Amino acid sequence: MAILDVRNLSVDYLTDDPLAGSGRGSIALHAVENVGFRLEQGRSLGLVGESGCGKTTVMMALLRLLPQEGRIVHGQVLFDGQDLLQYSEAEMRQVRWRGISMVFQGAMNALNPVRTIESQMVEALRLHSIIEQPRAARQRAGELLQLVGIPPRRGRQYPHQYSGGMRQRAVIAMALACNPRILIADEPTTALDVMIQAQILELLEQLQAELYLSLVMVTHDLGMVAEICDDVLVMYAGMVAEYASSDAIFNNPQHPYTQRLLEAFPDVEKPGSTLASIPGSPPRLDDLPPGCRFEPRCQCQWREAICAQKVPPLVEIEPGHCVACHWARRI
């Protein structure tokens, strides 16, 4: 059974004063609509798409860490068979870090600057009763640091004394402290230089193999996906465009967007560059087209009226390969 099974997840963001409640002049932006995927234990999933396509929102929704304006309006998040969306806040606290942990985007700032690295790791260990004894916990924290290639005695130092790459690794170590089943890494290598990027990737691969960890990598870097991910979920404007194994995506992309992404592939590795080869930009959330969201930018030769009129359903064209495009299934 899949360790994580997300079904028809939809997330809205309320604009204007969120405390006024919806219905009092605030608009609901449909940031994520009908997203679903499965994750087996020990496998890794790459979640790919442009900035703002909703990938981070999906991940935050899993752990219920959305900002105040966020509302999960639909779906099921089955973690080991249990629907997390039915959990109370107290129950969620048990799942967080212990069942599913997360490495946020811009992890450099994820550490409390006035506490030692060690103390922050010990906190995680003791909170989830992995190890209660302070001394033993500190010992374990040291081991975890070693696992990510940081000398254990540096645990006594403060975050500002670590380099960016080290901080990233420390955050990963901390995320593993409670032996989670799933690790979500949101843009783990953005803003790091190429050498460090390679190190981090290697580390993640290694950890995955050693600990039989399930990994979700949120990124817009296809190179990274090609290296580590078993499966890929391509998102566009809050919806799933294509979902298949890594092989299928790279060798047989069906969705026009995926195809364009791959064409732009060599450029994507340059930091900071947008997908300049696809003209236009994603639709605004308050101005979504009635049909396929990619249609305005789609240059596919089989484009027809139906594309702009009806949202294409996600269809399994081959076992394990789903696409949301009116024409993909006809090929």
Residues of this chain that interact with other proteins (CB under 8 A) are 10, 19, 28, 30, 63-75, 85, 89, 92-98, 101-102, 104, 106, 109-115, 123-124, 127-128, 158, 160, 171
Q: Two tokens at 107?
A: 């992890």
Q: What's the min distance (Å) between Cβ of 328 and other proteins?
A: 22
Strands of 163-230 (E only): list them: 182-186, 214-219
Of the candidates 164, 174, 172, which has an alpha carbon nearest to the alpha carbon of residue 204?
Answer: 172
Q: Which is nearer to other proteins, 110 or 224 (CB)?
A: 110
Distance (Å, whole) CA 243 – CA 232 = 6
Q: Which of 243, 259, 286, 330 is CA-nearest to residue 46?
A: 243
Residue 187 CB-density burial (10 A; 0-12 exposed, 13-18 middle, 19+ buried): buried
Shortest Å, Cβ 292 to other proteins:
16
The least distance separating other proteins from the CB of residue 76, rounded to whole angstroms, comes to 9
- 3-state class percentages of the chain: helix first, strand second, coil last, to nearest 5: 35, 25, 40
Q: How far is the CB of 227 from other proteins (least distance, A)?
A: 26
Smallest distance from other proteins to CB 100, Å: 9
Residue 191 CB partners (closer than 8 Å, separation 6+): 106, 108, 164, 271
CB atoms closer than 10 angstroms to residue 251: 10
Least CB distance to other proteins at residue 48 (A)? 22
CB of residue 8 to other proteins, shortest distance in Å: 8
Residue whose CB is less far from other proteins, 77 or 232: 77
Work out the end-to-end distance of the chain between its first and last CA atoms, rounded to an integer number of angstroms: 32
Beta carbon of residue 148, minimum distance to other proteins (angstroms, whole number) = 16
Q: How many CB atoms lie within 10 A of CB 132?
A: 10
Nearer to other proteins, 128 or 260 (CB): 128
CB nearer to other proteins: give 182 or 261: 182
- Residue 6 CA from chain centroid, whole number: 13
The residue type found at 2 is A
Instruction: Return the structure tokens found at 7.
Output: 């079904």
Q: Which residue has the tokens 């236009």?
A: 280
3-state secondary structure of 82: strand
